[in-house]
Amino acid sequence: MGYIACTRDCYDTCLFKPIASSGKLIDLRPADVFPTLGFTCPRGRADVKRLYSARRIKRPMLRKEGGLVEISWDRAISELAERLKRADPRRVIHVEYDGNQGLLTWYYPARPFNALGAVSTDYSICSAEGHAALKLHWGRSWGMLPEELAGARAVVFWGLNAVVSFTHGWALVKRAKAKTAAVDVAPTETIKAVDLPVIVRPGSDVVLALGVARELISRDLYDKRFVEERTYGFDKFAAYVERFTPDYVERETGVSREVLFQLVELYASGAKTVIGFSLGRTLNGGDAVRAISLIHALLGDPLGFFYSNSGAWGIDFDYLRGLHAGKPSAVVPMGLVGARIHEFEAMYVWNSNPVMTLPQGDKICEAARRGDLFLAVHDIVLNETAECADLLLPAPTYLEKDDIVYSYWHNLLVYNKAAVQPIGEAKPEHWVARELGRAVGLSGHPLIEEDPWRAAEIALRPAGVELSELLARGVVALRRGDPLRFNTPTGKLEFYSTTAERRGLSPLPHYERIEGYVLTFTSEPMHTNTQFFDEYGPPQPIAEVNPTDFAGDIACLEAGSASIKVRVAPNPLVPRGVILIRGIPKDLEGRPVNAVADGTPNPYGGTPRINTSLVRLRPCE
């Protein structure tokens, strides 16, 4: 049997050998291949258990007078189709994200909704802000591959908790005995593990990065030839960064000149950066990503950073979603779905748990419970969104279906072949999409008639992959483009972004100061977002706070009229003004913590500012 890729939204995309006996999966053996190195994380280890979880949705279910009753698939599809046919498509929204990264699980099933002209989200919750920010200067967002990370002599982990969230990237860097630095707002596992820990004030990274750039320029530590030949707008950039003096950096970020200079030296020695997705979820986050990437422009190292390589391979995700033959009537930023829930009468959710993971996601559940929203959920387990749903549909895990899986870090494309038969009546997402399409009257529509594997074949062509070859070989290596080709209006790497200027955005990275208590989040080892609550128990609503900021065991965090109640863990290492929660728990009264998260879309890719949520920190009444 070949390899199976873990489909979790995770940097690592591990490969496994599934071990089955008498039709039952008994083990998933981590494959000893580069770059996932033959070990796995606690979530990977629990996938066999999750396959047989008691929380699996096994049959379609419909809510009736408060209770759920099992129904047939025929009935489930026709109930859903009737709802969709009756509604104005502008009042129907589909919400999906990356619970499973398979091409046929995540992307293809948007087709009937795009054919109908329903409302889509902007898929911005995670990485969109940084992708859009990088494109302003580089004309692309991809960067170094694991091979290059493994050869690095120094690595800066900027805005991510890599020890927890990127275990194989961290392991590669440790094996290489590279010098390490981390930039974070709180004392995370990664901050504790690196040679140079750098604690910044929330949202101030852009100032630190521009301060590093200023030092590299003023000390003549940049690559003049590269800058001359390959870049545009250096003079304007150099003049702009003049104001980011060590004093100014210290005032705004809290980073001392000594620590700033150590970081500068690390970069001057050729350090690489892993830029965390978390930055995109902060105020000024896109600007921070822009500024950090430009450090590597100065160093003449266009493969000096890694953010996400999802755009490197050329896979045509829009084709899979059917945007060539259909179109959403409107696009709503993910951070505002909860706040704008009154605009919708029906919501179809798959591969995502928006009640827990979106800002004000609790409003989705309230609207469904009030009867204002018809909520249908296709998931593998009874998650918190499914608990509020009117219609529940059983989905197979990645171990029960065939799919194609790419990674946003390494370049292995994997054909996942089902390791076991689907549990209960679980049906794949592409099957539901086509059945639903036909039931709403889209028979004959090209988006519905095209077989999902044929769609995948076409979507993979720009990546230079023949589907037949992938199916025969199981794993193929993808290729990225020429790192010295910049798809910008000037054809150069633009320090001064002409695209931003044309769009009325700041051509140079911009900074706005934050005032107030900032609630922020960090990932934790036992869960991927809200998955594995059943296997490992749910994360606890514990807020780590500096003891001078709050005395007491229980606190309420308030934003607008929303409030969450949490237990307080005093931690003198957490800077004043910062409140840190691990994972995405419910509060002490069962309310999702994102009830108080900031859903404001950031300027470039629309990602909400969850990690710089301004809150009032109070004793509860």
Ligand X SMILES: Nc1nc2c(c(=O)[nH]1)N[C@H]1C(S)=C(S)[C@@H](COP(=O)(O)OP(=O)(O)OC[C@H]3O[C@@H](n4cnc5c(=O)[nH]c(N)nc54)[C@H](O)[C@@H]3O)O[C@H]1N2
What residues make contact with ligand X under the rule CB under 6 A? 9-11, 97-100, 105, 125-126, 159-161, 164-165, 183-186, 188, 200, 202-203, 205, 276-279, 282, 350-354, 357, 378-381, 383, 395, 397-398, 429, 520-523, 525, 527-531, 584, 593-594, 597, 610-612
Per-residue tokens: 51? 């396959």
The DSSP-derived string for 251-271 is: HHH---HHHHHHHHHHHHTT-
Residues 6+ apart with CB under 8 A from 450: none
Contact set for ligand SF4, span 507-536 (CB under 6 A): 528
Q: Do 121 and 333 touch, CB atoms closer than 8 A?
A: yes
12 is a site residue for ligand SF4 (CB under 6 A): yes
Site string for ligand SF4, 250-289 (x = CB under 6 A): ----------------------------------------
Tell which one of 14, 172, 294, 436 touches ligand SF4 (CB under 6 A).
Answer: 14
Nearer to ligand X, 112 or 276 (CB): 276
13 is a site residue for ligand SF4 (CB under 6 A): yes
Tell which one of 3, 4, 6, 494 touches ligand SF4 (CB under 6 A).
Answer: 6
Nearer to ligand X, 325 or 418 (CB): 418
CA 443 to each of CA 348, 448, 509: distance values in angstroms, whole numbers, following the listed order: 20, 7, 49
What's the residue count for the chain? 621
Nearer to ligand SF4, 408 or 604 (CB): 408
Q: In the bound complex, which residue of the shown chain has the CB atom lying closest to ligand SF4? A: 44
Give the CA angle between residues 548, 552, 555 to the nearest 5°: 100
328 is a site residue for ligand SF4 (CB under 6 A): no
Q: What share of the chain is helix, strand, coil (3-state, %, to 5)?
A: 35, 20, 45
126 is a site residue for Mo ion (CB under 5 A): yes
CA dist 382 and 299 (Å) reads 49
Contacted entry of ligand X, Mo ion, ligand SF4, none for residue 407, CB cut-off 5 to 8 Å set by kind = none
Helices (H), 166-275: 167-175, 189-193, 205-218, 224-230, 234-241, 246-253, 257-268
CB of 3 to ligand SF4, least distance (A): 12
Nearer to Mo ion, 123 or 486 (CB): 123
40 is a site residue for ligand SF4 (CB under 6 A): yes
CA dist 587 and 596 (Å) reads 11
Q: Which stretch binds ligand SF4 (CB under 6 A): 11-19, 228-236, 465-473, 588-596?
A: 11-19
| Interface with Mo ion: number of residues (CB under 5 A) | 1
Nearer to ligand X, 170 or 232 (CB): 170
CB of 354 to ligand X, least distance (A): 6
CB of 97 to Mo ion, least distance (A): 8
Nearer to ligand SF4, 376 or 584 (CB): 584
Per-residue tokens: 290? 């822009």
Nearer to ligand SF4, 44 or 354 (CB): 44
Tell which one of 44, 139, 203, 605 touches ligand SF4 (CB under 6 A).
Answer: 44
CB of 161 to ligand X, least distance (A): 4
CA dist 528 and 281 (Å) reads 17
Q: Do 404 and 415 touch, CB atoms closer than 8 A?
A: yes
CA dist 248 and 257 (Å) reads 10
Tell which one of 121, 124, 167, 309 touches ligand SF4 (CB under 6 A).
Answer: 167
Tell which one of 31, 37, 41, 519 touches ligand SF4 (CB under 6 A).
Answer: 41
Nearer to ligand SF4, 375 or 412 (CB): 412
Q: 3-state DSSP call for residue 19? A: strand
Sheet of 196-199, strands arranged across: 196-199, 179-184, 154-158, 272-275, 305-306
Which residue from 539, 515, 524 is spatially nearest to 587, judged by alpha carbons?
539
- H or E element in which residue 20 lies: strand 15-21
Binding site for Mo ion (CB under 5 A): 126
